[in-house]
Structure 1
């Protein structure tokens, strides 16, 4: 792992302290708990009365048995005929009712809720305070028990490199306190693994459905088995998952005494999972997992564990840096980055709807799966500009690894070569059937592949483009090109088309040429043309591409983009698929012609007219991104401020508005992670943009932000950028070229500027209105400033990267005596 200077590491550690999650009270609900994870296992720390709960999670513990449709009737031709004949009821019966799970009555792919590890004290907890240190991902705290004078100091973390939870209590000796009393307390602290919470009814979406325990029993699950190891040191909890695997929890408690203090070390390890390859191997796998846990729990040198743990997080925080004058928004930015780094790691599964914090005690909302009609895209958008490409790797591997299954889906359902994923899928691409409209949508996989396209644009990895991405783009294009038919005017069209979540699964959800789908087809054409040109591959479809670009225009009228042909946005709607040509596809831009600019402005005007009543939490950060692409910094900022109405004190996005701020009609509170991660992307978009290969510095910050600074934000065409803004003037820009591409920067300096190389030799002078365009060498660094003297001054100023905040408050998140927002 690459080592950073001590000076930089110390600075980041000190800077991030203002954003640590601080608890003044014990979180007494799972939803307000302290989240920790390492990309494979996670815990939520919370408690009540005399107990601390550690709700466990593991990202490869799934139910993966799936419902296989009868493709003799479950096929595209049948669906199209029924829809064109307006037999919507029959279509819904075949393509939804027969295959979709309702209230978990049918076995289907889903994340599984796991046990808690319970720490029970001999008396109630009367005081609790803690601090989740973001820089080290370690929670330090203090507990005071009723009838016991001395506080118990604790440290808890999920080890960044092994599947190990370390929880250490320390009781310091005090004058006048009988050490025997301390010993008695320690002896009466009990540790257990419990599933009692799984026996409660319902979840946030369906409060009256069967308990998780009864649901799983009805699916053929046996009760878990508890046992000890041969040395009577480790307590095991084994849960078999029918046919395809299981999970094993191991825990032990160690007493460690010294002249100064008494300590208790609790070690918890979690192994196992489910996979198609595990079938008929469960007994052998259980033995393997048991041996692995035994070896992991042998490690009792907690100082060495801490050192290893911190290595990952030191490197993680060094990737990029942001300082803005909005303390609350900056706090959210860094806390979401912490959760993103906790939820997605190279070599692991990608982050699902709830990541590594599957809902305590119930079956997870929306099966806790992978949704490809917005959620997984929002989750991974921030990985590219914040320079966390390792975090994006699980999504790349997931999409590439499941391509063969998506090809089979396409052949089975459509009857031709292409790719088709469905909307909701499991860990191996298994279908989780829901609304037949969303499950049909061919755009699901195309939109997910757009994230692979962003990965290419931000890395400029030509090998990835040729070997991985280009075949996927061609198969996506194959799918849509087969679906195009001539209309009554002889123009190619999509005769049945869908815009995600518009009218849910009702007849009016179907139309012709949905704007989002037209945008995806046009994206595929532009992407393929670019790929062929860069890789010097002959494009024998150029004439066909041009025909499609001419005939497949966006449905639009004076109110802006339509949902589909002839259907305006007629009510407040949470999903902005009709605005996808603006963001994320970047096909219609503010740099375009008057028609493009009118489309953008009129579409946003229509959004404002319809209001936010039917939006859910994730709508706000996405709309912030759209507003930024439109050049509206004030709207981009305001969308993020409104987003705070949809998150809990520990920053979890809960979709609805249960506190009833009046922004949305939805008042439920199911937690999903994508919106918080999308807010990182939205902040980044205000600071830097690079669509169409042009870098824009501080393009859409609100006018009341006079100062801002960032380091190592990544752009398309593979540049790392630093920039400093003081008093609304850009003082300098630093550019590191990672691929040797030509660099083009929009000139927003407001004065004549000079280009310097990494030895500070002047290379070029730019006029005040001139586009900043220059060739680069891979690995070289360049600077842009007014003069060499101003650059040297800026170099001095950039060491003072702590931008003064408009609000002096810090540590906004955590459970407070009085809410922060």
Structure 2
């Protein structure tokens, strides 16, 4: 072995590494709705990239000609529990990791004991138009104690150092078809290759180093974290480096939080390894495989709600168990098992939008392809294909059965205090994360949301009782891993509709799958409990007010928006916001239908039906012709506000449609026009879905262009800004609904399968296979020159299949397991 290499390793073990990273900017301590997040963290790779490899990316590969310079350029990997962002550095590589249960905080009862006592007075003040007095009283009597939740946190980072200060023919990529991240380059005539993935079967990340010359691999690595950790050699195994810690330990807090651990195990082919002083150094290896796993002592929401028996979880023991189970598997076995597991989900849907410039565009890095959209004033179909499947990739990677659901950043967050705590925001964002689950054939990945919802019920029941004196269960505008269901952040958090909206999702899962047992055992109890709260919470509007005698919500918000009272006072606190009524109508109608399907609860059904007759109808402003956002036609403070909450009835509900409610549909169109074609990333995604529901494919595409050209980061993450994953998921669902919709009922109350309802001329040729329609129908579609060529509908049960195309409807008899062929001449 060369003396130079030995000296290099000795210096590294003494801690003379030159890896650097600038300090991250501190987040301003302000209410969640007001924070301005400066999150960029610059990363320095000492290597000079002298040339890039000739790219010829596969149609579903993200490719780049340089390492990531900031976290928002790194490439995500995940298996639902473990997540990683890979930078693709050469001399200095960084792999930032997350574990889905690593949350600061602890179980508590945040419900304000004054709530139930003062609620009637707050309601009276709002009915009297004394909004400011109501706000002041609500702030001291309804808000959670404490008002804020603790954040989801980064697990830590692996920092690698290699003696390669120049690189030629550099390339890094993310293969969406196999969920593999790859980095390659040439140094001193030797080609180096690095491949990474996170396996669900193995419950581990695998990093594999090779070179086309023997004994060419020299590197060292260590664990790093901003706080609360130690990095040591494993006393039981010299090939393992341990990360251990407990949230809060650095602050010497009386109440320390979640314990965590991670192991990085090295498997060598050739070479030598030294493990000392919190660093592993490797020299002269032919191949290096590093297996990484992590765990916490988080007991799960079910145990937190019902802590009858103590739970003692040892995170390090959990990690060792995983590593031990993988000892006999070599790299190719781990890789093959990972690919097979991943592709069982990914391969269900294939979208093909031909692009005449495909060969030329395949040679462009993905970040250049994003920039090209502005020059072209459209999104190349090559990029639409990637963007759609990237959204499905993210859901497969961040939401697996048995694990936590995708949060505001999915699974990926590098800070100790990420934007909005990377929480579960329930006034749009958490729900939007799961919009693509059913339509893009990823039904099983919806289950983590249902598990969270079910686990929140006992917490929500306490909040419903203590704050509102109501039965059932409630969640406000956010929640976390500890079952926080009280109002949070500020008075804008007094929005007790989160549970009612969350209850829509198990109902939709039933509609898409037809799983009656799921409806009976899981969906219906969630829905009924949410509805019981609503039925108890609503109050009768007093005489002298609009819609006197009708039932409404009080207090109420139209999420994060405000209005101007006749007195000139600006307020957001009110009663009877339109979104509330639309959510309630959706929930109660679904409950009525569920009771009929299950032949149960006739008294409860009657209560729901009676309440439905006393709900305020969706109103159209006489002045503007738009859907009214509040019970009164108040003037808006921000016409272009990012939330379009009062169009919940258009999407994700089906109360407004051009087929059944054309007048409301026209008012919804005017509302969208007034909101404008710009906004935050997730806001644009929501509006794309709404334009789809209005069958305006050109307008939907215009907003898709705005989203990708202006609100998409180099790694295709959605940019609020900052990064929020809901925009990715919402846009993926929107692309699917340009091609297939099934939310509208026909005259026989069957879901209508709408083919190509919002197709833009920019996508006038293509095919898609494997999309799902309500009624558990799998749909394949081909089109040319903007017109249907043929479609195949595969029903899961026999019965009528109702299809719509170009404004005309037909009905065919479907047989279970036999494809129904649809051609355009059938609609003549």
Contact 1:66 1:432 in 2 (8 A): no
Tell me which residue corresponds to 2:714: 649
Residues 1:254 and 2:267 aligned together: yes
In 1, distance between residues paired with 2:143 and 2:611? Answer: 36
1:146-295 alignment, distance < 5 Å: 148-173=188-213, 182=215, 186=218, 189-195=219-225, 198=226, 213=227, 223-224=229-230, 226-241=232-247, 245-257=258-270, 262-275=286-299, 277=303, 285-286=314-315, 288-295=317-324
| Structure 2 CA distance for aligned equivalents of residues 424 and 627 of structure 1 | 27
1:317 to 335, 346, 351: 346
Distance 1:490 1:262, change over 3 A: closer
Aligned to 1:625: 689
1:140 to 179, 182, 192: 182
Of 49-58 and 291-300, more deviation after overlay is shown by: 291-300
CA, structure 1 residues 60+700, in 2 after alignment: closer, same or farther (shift >3 Å)?
same
Which shows bigger deviation, 222-231 or 307-316? Answer: 222-231
- Secondary structure at the aligned position of 1:524 is classed as helix
| 2:620–2:667 CA contact under 8 A, matched in 1 | no
1:351, distance to aligned residue in structure 2 (A): 0.8
Partner of 1:224, secondary structure, is strand
Shift of residue 368, structure 1, vs aligned partner: 1.1
Residue in 2 that maps onto 1:564: 630
TM-score by length of 1: 0.79
Alpha-carbon contact 1:435-1:504 (below 8 Å) kept: no
CA contact (8 A) 1:426 1:432 kept: no
* Distance change >3 Å, CA 616–CA 344, structure 1 → 2: same
- C-alpha distance in structure 1 between counterparts of 2:602 and 2:345, whole Å: 41
Alpha-carbon contact 1:271-1:289 (below 8 Å) kept: yes
* In 1, Cα distance between equivalents of 2:328 and 2:158: 20
SS of alignment partner, residue 655 of structure 2: coil
Unpaired segments of 5 or more residues in structure 2? 1-55, 248-254, 272-283, 355-380, 746-750
**8 A contact 1:484–1:493 mirrored in 2:** yes
Instruction: Judge which range, 394-403 or 21-30, deviates more.
Output: 394-403
Q: Is the alpha carbon distance of 1:284 and 1:724 closer, same or farther for their aligned partners in structure 2, counting shifts above 3 Å?
A: closer
Superposition pairs of residues 337-356 of structure 1, within 5 angstroms? 337-356=392-411
Q: CA deviation at 1:440?
A: 2.2
Structure 1 pair 223–339 and aligned structure 2 pair: CA distance change class (3 A): closer
Q: What RMSD, in angstroms, separates the aligned Cα atoms of the two structures?
A: 3.0
> Residues 243 and 786 from structure 1, CA distance in 2 versus in 1: closer, same or farther, beyond 3 angstroms?
same
**Structure 1 residue 267, shift from structure 2 partner:** 2.1
Q: 1:512 to 1:598 in 2, by over 3 A?
A: same
Other-structure match for 1:673: 725
Count of residues in correspondence between the two structures = 694
* Paired residue secondary structure (2:171): strand
Q: Indicate the SS of the match to 2:238.
A: coil
Residue 734 of structure 2: aligned partner: 682
Shift of 1:424: 1.4
What's the CA shift for 1:587? Answer: 0.5
- Tell me the SS of whatever aligns to 1:72: coil
- Secondary structure, counterpart of 1:270 in structure 2: strand
Which whole-Å CA distance do the structure 2 matches of 1:504 and 1:116 have between them? 45
Change over 3 Å in CA distance of 1:261–1:225 after alignment to 2 = closer
Aligned to 1:534: 597
Q: Comparing 120-129 with 163-172, which one deviates more in the overlay?
A: 120-129
Q: Is 1:518 paired with 2:581?
A: yes
Q: Which residue of 2 aligns with 1:734?
A: 792
SS at match of 1:417: coil
Structure 1 residues 569, 501: closer, same or farther in 2, change over 3 A? same
How far, CA to CA, are the matches of 2:312 and 2:579 in structure 1?
A: 48
Residues 1:608 and 2:673 aligned together:
yes
Kindly tell me: are residues 285 and 522 of structure 1, through their superposed partners in 2, closer, same or farther at Cα, counting changes over 3 Å?
same
Identify the residue that residue 490 of structure 1 maps to in structure 2: 549
Q: 1:704 to 1:611 in 2, by over 3 A?
A: closer
Flag the 1:555–1:51 CA change in 2: closer, same or farther, 3 A.
same
CA distance in 2, matches of 1:34, 1:627: 31
Deviations 1:648-699 (A, max 9, x none): 110111203xxxxxxxxxxxxx211111011111011110011121011001
Query: For the structure 1 residues 437 and 740, does the alpha-carbon distance in structure 2 shift closer, same or farther, using more than 3 Å as the test?
Result: farther
The equivalent of 2:375 in structure 1 is none
Q: Please give the alpha-carbon distance, in whole angstroms, between the structure 1 residues aligned to 2:424 and 2:611.
A: 35
Of 611, 616, 638, which aligns to 2:702?
Answer: 638
Q: Give CA-to-partner distance per residue, 1:281-306, whole Å, 9 cap, x none.
A: 78762453253144046245111111
Check the 8 A contact 1:687/1:698 in 2, yes or no: yes
- 2:763 equivalent to 1:698: no
Query: Aligned equivalents of 1:639 and 1:786: distance in 2?
Result: 29
Of 2, 17, 23, the residue aligned with 2:58 is 17
- Choose from 429, 450, 453 the match for 1:375: 429
2:83 is the counterpart of 1:42: yes
Per-residue deviation, residues 259-289 of structure 1 (Å, max 9, x unmatched): x992222222222242365999787624532
CA change 1:94–1:113 in 2 (3 A) is farther
Q: Structure 1 residue 99: deviation in Å? A: 2.6
SS of equivalent residue, structure 1 residue 723: strand
CA spacing shift, 1:98–1:38, aligned 2, 3 Å: closer
Single out whichever of 499-508 and 640-649 deviates more from structure 2.
Answer: 499-508
Shift of 1:316: 1.6
1:502 is matched with which residue: 555, 561, 577? 561
Cα 1:264–1:588 shift into 2, 3 Å? same
When the two structures are superposed, what TM-score results if normalisation uses the length of structure 2? 0.78
Q: C-alpha displacement at 1:55, in angstroms?
A: 0.3
The CA distance in 2 between the partners of 1:720 and 1:281, in whole Å, is 46
> Is 1:478 paired with 2:532?
yes
Q: 1:384 to 1:284 in 2, by over 3 A?
A: closer
Query: 3-state SS of the aligned residue for 1:63?
Result: coil
TM-aligned CA deviation for residue 628 of structure 1: 0.9
CA contact (8 A) 1:59 1:355 kept: no
- Residue 752 of structure 1 corresponds to none
CA-CA distance at 1:472 after TM superposition: 2.5
Q: Could you tell me which residue of structure 2 aligns to residue 55 of structure 1?
A: 96
Quick one: distance in 2 between partners of 1:165 and 1:511? 49
492-501 or 82-91, larger mean C-alpha shift:
82-91
Unmatched segments (≥5 aa) in structure 1: 1-14, 102-107, 174-178, 199-212, 214-221, 657-669, 750-768, 789-821
Q: Distance in 1 between matches of 2:223 and 2:762?
A: 52
Partner of 1:208: none
Alpha-carbon contact 1:63-1:109 (below 8 Å) kept: yes
1:460 and 1:739 in contact (8 A); partners too: no
Shift in alpha-carbon separation, 1:708–1:149, aligned structure 2, 3 A: closer
Q: Among 141, 146, 158, which residue is 1:99 paired with?
A: 146
Shift of 1:511: 2.4
Secondary structure of residue in 2 paired with 1:193: strand
Residue aligning to 1:659 = none
For 1:189-224, what per-residue CA distance to the aligned partner results, in whole angstroms no more than 9, with x for missing partners?
1111112xx2xxxxxxxxxxxxxx3xxxxxxxx543
Q: Does the 8 A contact of 1:437 with 1:504 survive in 2?
A: no
Q: Does 1:577 align with 2:645?
A: yes
